Amino acid sequence: MVRIGQLLISLESREIQLDSESLRIGSRAFDILELLIRAQGTLVSKDEIMRRVWPDTVVEENNLQVHVAALRKALGADRDLIKTVPGRGYRLMLAHEEAPLQHETAAGLLPCASIMLPAGVSALIGRQTLVAQVLGGLNAGRVVTLVGAGGIGKTRVALEVAGQATMRFPDGVVFVPLASVSNARFALEALAGALGIKLPAGRLSSDLIAAEIAGRRVLIVLDNCEHVIDAAAEMARAMTAVNPALCVLATSREALRIQDEVLYHVPSLDVPPDASLGDEILQTSAVQLFLARARTIDPCFSSDERSIFLTGLVCRRLDGIPLAIELAAARAAVLGIEVLVDHLDECFRILTGGFRGVLPRHQTLKAMLDWSYRLLDDTERTLLRWLGVFLNGFSFDAACHMVAAHGFSQTEILDALGGLVSKSLVIHDSGTVPSRYRLLATTRAYALQQLEDNGERKAAALAHAAWPVLAHQRTSGSIL
Ligand SMILES: Nc1ncnc2c1ncn2[C@@H]1O[C@H](COP(=O)(O)OP(=O)(O)OP(=O)(O)O)[C@@H](O)[C@H]1O
Ligand SMILES: [Mg+2]
């Protein structure tokens, strides 16, 4: 969220709030506002705005003036925060213009010479081994990527690693939140903005930014790269190519796929095995996260044996995904754990409304999965939906059988399945022959909901029912 005068602006969800009420402005006006915000107080020329906001059309200048007037109207008493620079363009006054953002360092004037990490992050639960491994990875490689499913905790681990790596990067640790960048065009601006580099947006390039910070011993955290993956990969490549002292730590639902990238898969938190009891349940990180979150809302959240048992069950059914666990804990604190367990099948209806201040993408389980689903191509989406019928995983043959009616070739299905695995929506259980795949329970529930919404549920159930018969007739031994 960015505050300008009385307005609270989310670049991620493109929403504006005034006194907790949503305020509507046109999408062009919002584009202009986003450009001005990303320019961090520097001039954005009229040409630049017109080129960026109307990329395929030549527009009259008064069009621009109309939209700027609409923005000023939305700002009300703070209308003067948008300054007209006569004959040139516009700039947004920063709230603290007189307080320079920069710090002097041995390496020169570097705006990011301190740790620029989001404040107010709650304590990390578990993950000690992974954090140590990733810190080690930053010694061995220059681009380290944390990959994993949505809400699994990639950003949280990256923040921990960045916080612990500050000694190694005396010129600073810079956090670049790409989730709020609406498209690849703005990724460079986000990076330049986070580094405090002030160049006209039209002149920005990865190489230019890399040259600006040459020689600086910096760790750059590119957070949530998946929706601007090509731009993020190019930025990481360019910055590390010319600067041997710079490292990039990226988080993404998909790998950057650049040379020498060191990948770490972020797994679910530990969940208690089926028959565990008491202390064994309490020692797992998923349960500890659940209880910590529930107790921030209800400090007396039940700790009797049955409640602990049910908490373990919920964490297991949510596959140890921290975001799902946080949403569930918030519900349980209000409704009681028994009610939550009874309604967990309707996870998309009940796992909504988490903690105040979190990203819109994290406010509901559905929004978290929508974000991944939107990034798929049509074949991947179809395959994901139809794979939702498999409760205990599936083989490649079973996947082909499910989407046979769609007329995809085997190569297309291979590509789509590979795409779903690399985008962390399908898990490949390595070590089995033939290979087996599965969906996390929440992803599966999402796929089934999508089948329903597309009117395909019945056809998928019929195709699924036909599969075991075929499987029996095969010698491959594929089982569902
Ligand atoms: N180990 C942990 N300890 C405490 N909180 C955690 C932990 N892991 C994750 N969380 C919390 O769970 C939520 C989701 O985590 P996070 O944002 O890191 O997920 P993500 O993998 O980056 O998701 P996305 O793919 O949507 O960006 C956050 O509120 C985060 O603070
Ligand atoms: Mg993240």
pLDDT at 437 exceeding the cut of 60: yes
Q: Which of 128-137, 162-171, 258-267, 351-360 has the lowest mean pLDDT?
A: 351-360
Name the residue at shortest CA distance from atom 5 of ligand 1.
124
> Angle, nearest 10°, between helix axes 322-335 and 365-374?
160
pLDDT at 153 exceeding the cut of 90: yes
State residue 201's pLDDT score: 65
Q: How many CB atoms lie within 10 A of CB 251?
A: 28
Q: What is the mean pLDDT of residues 427-434?
A: 84
Q: Which of the four pLDDT bands, split at 50, 70 and 90, describes residue 38? A: confident
CATH class entry, domain 104-265: alpha beta
Taking the centre of ligand 2 as the mean of its atom positions, its distance from the CA of residue 365, in whole angstroms, is: 14
Taking the centre of ligand 2 as the mean of its atom positions, its distance from the CA of residue 465, in whole angstroms, is: 38
Position in ligand 1 atom list of the atom nearest CA 156: 18
Q: What is the mean pLDDT of residues 15-27?
A: 85
57: left (phi over 0), alpha (psi -120 to 50) or beta: beta
Position in ligand 1 atom list of the atom nearest CA 325: 12
Taking the centre of ligand 2 as the mean of its atom positions, its distance from the CA of residue 154, in whole angstroms, is: 6
Q: What is the mean pLDDT of residues 96-121?
A: 40
Taking the centre of ligand 2 as the mean of its atom positions, its distance from the CA of residue 251, in whole angstroms, is: 6
Q: What is the mean pLDDT of residues 244-266?
A: 95
Name the residue at shortest CA distance from atom 31 of ligand 1.
156
Which two structure tokens, joined as six digits, stand for 369?
């999965």
- The whole-angstrom separation of Cα 149 and Cα 100 is 38
Which of the ligands is closest to the CA of residue 371? 1
Residue 126 near ligand 1, beta carbon < 6 Å: yes
pLDDT at 175 exceeding the cut of 50: yes
Amino acid at 420: L
Position in ligand 1 atom list of the atom nearest CA 322: 12
User: Which tens digit of pLDDT belongs to each residue from 199-208?
Assistant: 776 778 899 9
Domain limits, the chain: 2-92, 104-265, 278-366, 376-473
Q: What is the mean pLDDT of residues 49-74?
A: 86
Taking the centre of ligand 2 as the mean of its atom positions, its distance from the CA of residue 52, in whole angstroms, is: 27
Mean pLDDT computed over every residue of the chain:
85
Name the residue at shortest CA distance from atom 15 of ligand 1.
153
Name the residue at shortest CA distance from atom 25 of ligand 1.
150
- The whole-angstrom separation of Cα 294 and Cα 394 is 35
User: Which tens digit of pLDDT belongs to each residue from 280-322?
Assistant: 999 999 999 999 999 988 888 888 999 999 999 999 999 999 9
> What proportion of the chain, given as a percentage, has pLDDT over 70?
89
Pick from 283, 305, 291, 363: nearest CA to 333: 291
Q: Which of 22-36, 91-105, 111-125 has the lowest mean pLDDT?
A: 91-105
Name the residue at shortest CA distance from atom 8 of ligand 1.
153
- The whole-angstrom separation of Cα 2 and Cα 53 is 20
Query: What does the buried/exposed string (b/e) look like for 27-48 if buried means 16 or more CB atoms within 10 Å of the residue's CB?
Result: ebbbbbbbbbbbbbbbbbbbeb
Amino acid at 382: T
Locus of tokens 């990034």: 375
Q: Which of 57-61, 256-260, 365-369, 383-387 has the lowest mean pLDDT?
A: 57-61
Locus of tokens 């990959």: 147
Instruction: Give the CATH number of domain 2-92; options: 3.30.70.3270, 3.10.180.10, 1.10.10.10, 2.10.25.10.
Output: 1.10.10.10
Residue 326 near ligand 1, beta carbon < 6 Å: yes
Which of the ligands is closest to the CA of residue 126? 1
Q: What is 346-368 written as a DSSP string?
A: GHHHHSB--STTS-GGGSBHHHH
Q: Which of the four pLDDT bands, split at 50, 70 and 90, describes residue 163? A: confident
Residue 119 carries which DSSP code? S
Which of the ligands is closest to the CA of residue 323? 1
Q: What is the mean pLDDT of residues 129-151?
A: 95
State residue 97's pLDDT score: 44
State residue 136's pLDDT score: 94
User: Which tens digit of pLDDT belongs to each residue from 440-467?
Assistant: 999 999 999 999 999 999 999 999 988 8
In contact, 131 and 154? CB cutoff 8 Å: no
Taking the centre of ligand 2 as the mean of its atom positions, its distance from the CA of residue 267, in whole angstroms, is: 14
Same fold, 2-92 and 376-473: yes
Taking the centre of ligand 1 as the mean of its atom positions, its distance from the CA of residue 156, in whole angstroms, is: 5
Residue 337 carries which DSSP code? H
User: Which tens digit of pLDDT belongs to each residue from 389-412?
Assistant: 998 899 999 999 999 999 999 999
pLDDT at 474 exceeding the cut of 50: no
Taking the centre of ligand 2 as the mean of its atom positions, its distance from the CA of residue 186, in whole angstroms, is: 18
Residue 330 near ligand 1, beta carbon < 6 Å: no
Taking the centre of ligand 1 as the mean of its atom positions, its distance from the CA of residue 362, in whole angstroms, is: 9
Residue 151 near ligand 1, beta carbon < 6 Å: yes
Q: Which of the four pLDDT bands, split at 50, 70 and 90, describes residue 415? A: very high
Q: What is the mean pLDDT of residues 56-67?
A: 83
State residue 107's pLDDT score: 32
Q: What is the value of pTM for the model shown?
A: 0.74
CATH 1.10.10.10 is held by the domain 376-473: yes
pLDDT at 108 exceeding the cut of 70: no
Q: Which of 73-87, 231-245, 326-340 has the lowest mean pLDDT?
A: 73-87
Residue 142 near ligand 1, beta carbon < 6 Å: no
N- to C-terminal Cα separation, the chain: 45
